[in-house]
Amino acid sequence: MSESRQKQVADYLDSLQRRLCATVEALDPARQFERDVWERASGSGAMSGRGVTAIIEGGAVMERGGVALSDIEGTSLPPAATDRHPQLAGRAYRAQGVSVVMHPRNPHAPTSHMNVRHFSAGDTWWFGGGFDLTPYLPYEEDIRAWHRAAAEACAPFAPGLYTHARAHCDEYFFLKHRAEARGVGGLFYDDLNELTPGIGMSWERCFSFMQQVGNAYVDAYGAILHRRAGAPSNDRERRYQLYRRGRYVEFNLVFDRGTLFGLQSGGRTDAILMSMPPQVEWSYRSPDSELDARLLPYLTSRRGENWLG
Footprint of a copy of itself on this chain (CB under 8 A)?
34, 36, 53, 55, 57, 64, 66, 176-178, 242, 246, 249-250, 253-254, 260, 263-264, 266-267, 269-274, 276-285
Q: What residues contact 36, with CB distance under 8 A and at least 6 apart? A: 52, 53, 54, 55, 271
Pick the closer one to a copy of itself by CB: 53 or 96. Answer: 53
Pick the closer one to a copy of itself by CB: 35 or 85. Answer: 35
Residue 258 CB, nearest distance to a copy of itself (Å)?
13
For the purposes of burial, counting CB atoms within 10 Å of the CB of 161, is it exposed (0-12), middle (13-18) or buried (19 or more)? buried
Distance CA(191)–CA(153), nearest Å, equals: 18
Local structure of residue 108 (DSSP, 8 states): T
Pick the closer one to a copy of itself by CB: 199 or 274. Answer: 274
Residue 279 CB, nearest distance to a copy of itself (Å)?
5
Among candidate residues 113, 118, 147, 164, the one labeled active-site is: 113
For the purposes of burial, counting CB atoms within 10 Å of the CB of 204, is it exposed (0-12), middle (13-18) or buried (19 or more)? exposed
Pick the closer one to a copy of itself by CB: 62 or 149. Answer: 62
Residue 257 CB, nearest distance to a copy of itself (Å)?
13
DSSP string, 140-176: HHHHHHHHHHHHHHHTTS-TTHHHHHHHHHHHHSEET
Residue 70 CB, nearest distance to a copy of itself (Å)?
15
At residue 297, φ and ψ (nearest 5 deg) are -55, -35
Distance from the first to the final alpha carbon of the chain: 41
Q: Is 113 a catalytic residue?
A: yes
Which residues are identified as catalytic? 113
